[in-house]
Structure 1
């Protein structure tokens, strides 16, 4: 309850400071007053079966008690979320109020006019918290969810790719710390830490077919080598470039030192192997820190930024934002906005972190006390400020099939079915034809970097 009161009074405090007042007034904005017209309404929120949403759902009763607005969570596996939300819109079922978008989905929602831009709600002083402080969200996250110059959602469940390492294993093998470049990881660490007879491997890369292959495996070895998916202005795919070939060739060299069958492993399997002490290092999302810290290697767990490639540090970038459905009635939209605004607020950032969520609020992620308690925060912030691009994966209306092609060919290349150059040439041609034949080039969103 104290956290809700803190949030409710935050706007009042900032308003009073501007007026030179010393005590609350009847005109100061509070969550309870803003929510009064919507008391008794129910807001349905799309979520995932992941730590950030479990934390949010745990804290939701505080919002309900303060506002009288009921919140219904409907959670999906990631792979089913976009389909469920799309069906909701095309059927006009109005099943969902708070819409969840991955960083690669905003174009779909905005082109179809399915969601309401944030500025619509910020312009309504009755429901816009004066202390919302949009600028407190890291720039890369604001840019990631800006389409056509408009912010379309507020960031939530925000990830950075990080390098997790077992300090004990590294020390036992003569290393004083983790590698700082991918070349070091391959040439200096991987071979020395490779001992299958003892179930010990220097590094493993989650590469399961699907979005894990696209985002976590294939793309991770594209940007740091100077490769890019395409040249949007020229409407030309560039996955057959020398830089792209070099990056994916490096991945193949690294695979030699990984556990057999790694191309079938998803996040859970790789994190489990790390937690069991069979891996010296993995590159994984910041969201997995609590899981690894609670594992048997918790006391030996180290975390830092991902290694640099020949073209610099470009770390994996992924996460979500909450948007308001444009298909539900205006009153329902306002109630939904109040929940999203509360959930992603500065005041709720700390309790969310303490309950296992990852947030993109600079005020919380750089707080000295939280940094000391959660070591992943500093490298996460460093990554977002100096090693992330919002279009790590392309923001295009036709992304699902685009990603499917990348995943299919990326998996075949990693499995050795195609030599790297040949596989990339085939993939490049497939994607070029797809982008040309669907007119998808016209949907490309190029976020500010």
Structure 2
């Protein structure tokens, strides 16, 4: 097996026993075979999982729940394969910088890549291995229960770019932004809020963003003994601000390009002219600016971690945030938190999907390449996903249908739950429906577009520019970046 490992530089333009669950994953994968398509012996004979023993590989990841869980429990993988895996976790922006430098070097400091669909996969797809090199190749173990066990929309969004026949990553995590709220406070004040506001304030997909605003404002004025502010946001000048705003943009019927949500799956080379000057986009910006005006002032300095910390500390009554913070919520505020899809706007409820896949650096040597495949195969297997879900240091959410079908996972949807992230399952499953999911445009220029967007949005929410002017400026920058 020979490969050309040099990457084209033009591509670079831009607690319940984690150990026991991990051991189960190792044993299950070692034995997988038959209808699962796994365990086929390599041409050279011997255990296919031991084929690259003695190899050391490096995995670069964002600071995420599944990576934290795996980093704390790599022994099952090493026992299974004889491969040492080093895991380096960091903030997403720093990860993108490191991946870019690694690809451009023509070598492979990092062998396994946390391939964010928008910030890594789209701009750097030519630096990633097409996994069809391994899938269906009987020299390598195959994914237990097959590729079809991955949630189909997530396999498309996290794994493919431009070419339907190529797969650059296996779905690894699936954070989705939902409505997180202090259920105890909503219960305490329910009748008084209902009387004052004229509607049932219980969070659900049937409420609107305008009603969300009124609820937040009510908490600001009437519940100071229990909470400082009604709402908090991840509105730092950062990727998080784009995520927070996107939910409102889509809910109001706006989008970044004419192709809309269809650009979030397979992606495109040429997204065309920006549509951020539409009436819907400007209305969304005006509402978002107004909402930040009554939110906790710290919102302008918080990313997703910041708003999660504030929520868990009791500073805000509700917030939009990634559902995988549920594990932390349940530790800080046991039994006091509720979860629902985000409110709807004039168009729909939109819940941004932030899932990511894991791929392989195309600059790897053959042994590193094969070892990396064994790792991503193991890391995304049903048993390993269950291990990360159950881990006291993790809490990652599965990307495989079969994991949700396990009796212990279904049981955990109700308190007391040994798998706290699964408490969000009803809200997340609703958010994942085609009509509710929010997908960013998967384009090679997304990193530049993202920076232009959150920079101008930051100016807007600090009062430096009006919402309509901000949208016109962003649209102009988008068109300049994409050479429209």
Give TM-score, length-normalised by structure 2: 0.81
Task: After superposition, give the CA deviation of every residue in 1:360-402 in whole Å (9 maximum; x if it has no partner).
Answer: 1122134443143231123222222345557x22222222221
Task: Supply the distance in 2 between the matched residues of 1:212 and 1:27 (Cα, whole angstroms).
Answer: 45
| Native 8 Å contact 1:371 1:378 kept in 2 | no
In structure 1, what is the equivalent of residue 276 of structure 2? 239
CA contact (8 A) 1:8 1:32 kept: no
Query: Counterparts in 2 of 1:323-342, with a 5 A limit?
Result: 323-342=359-378
CA distance in 2, matches of 1:26, 1:235: 46
- What 5-or-longer segments of structure 1 have no aligned partner? 17-24, 438-449
Q: Distance in 2 between matches of 1:430 and 1:26?
A: 52
RMSD over equivalenced CA pairs, Å = 2.5
Partner of 2:334: 298
Pair 1:5 & 2:27 matched: yes
1:94 pairs with 2:94: no
2:122 paired residue among 89, 96, 107: 107
Out of 129, 132, 135, the position equivalent to 1:119 is: 132
Aligned to 1:214: 242
Q: Structure 1 residues 411, 371: closer, same or farther in 2, change over 3 A?
A: farther
Report if the CA contact (8 A) 2:41-2:140 is conserved.
no
Higher strand share: 1
For the residue of structure 1 that corresponds to 2:482, the secondary structure is helix
Match of 1:152 among 149, 168, 171: 168
Q: Work out whether 1:183 is the aligned partner of 2:209.
A: yes
Which of the residues 205, 220, 225 maps onto 2:233? 205
TM-score between the two structures when normalised by the length of structure 1: 0.87
The equivalent residue for 1:408 is 455
Structure 1 residue 27 displacement after superposition? 6.5
Residue-by-residue CA offset, 1:53-94 (whole Å, 9 max, x unaligned): 110112321010111111111222222101111111111232
Distance 1:125 1:116 in 2: 18
**Structure 2: runs of 5 or more not aligned:** 1-22, 192-199, 260-269, 413-421
How many residues get paired?
Answer: 423
Distance 2:41 2:91 in 1: 43
In the alignment, is residue 172 of structure 1 matched against residue 188 of structure 2? Answer: yes
- 2: CA distance, partners of 1:98 / 1:26: 23
Equivalent runs, 1:233-312 vs 2, <5 Å: 235-295=272-332, 297-312=333-348
Taking a change above 3 Å as real, the CA distance of residues 236 and 26 of structure 1, as seen in their structure-2 partners, is closer
Q: What secondary structure, in the 3-state scheme, does the structure 2 residue paired with 1:358 have?
A: coil
Structure 1 residue ranges, 4+ long, deviating more than 6 angstroms after superposition: 25-29
2:433 paired with 1:378: no
**Cα 1:123/1:2, change in 2 over 3 Å:** closer
Q: Give the distance between the partners of 2:72 and 2:122, measured in 1 at CA.
A: 31
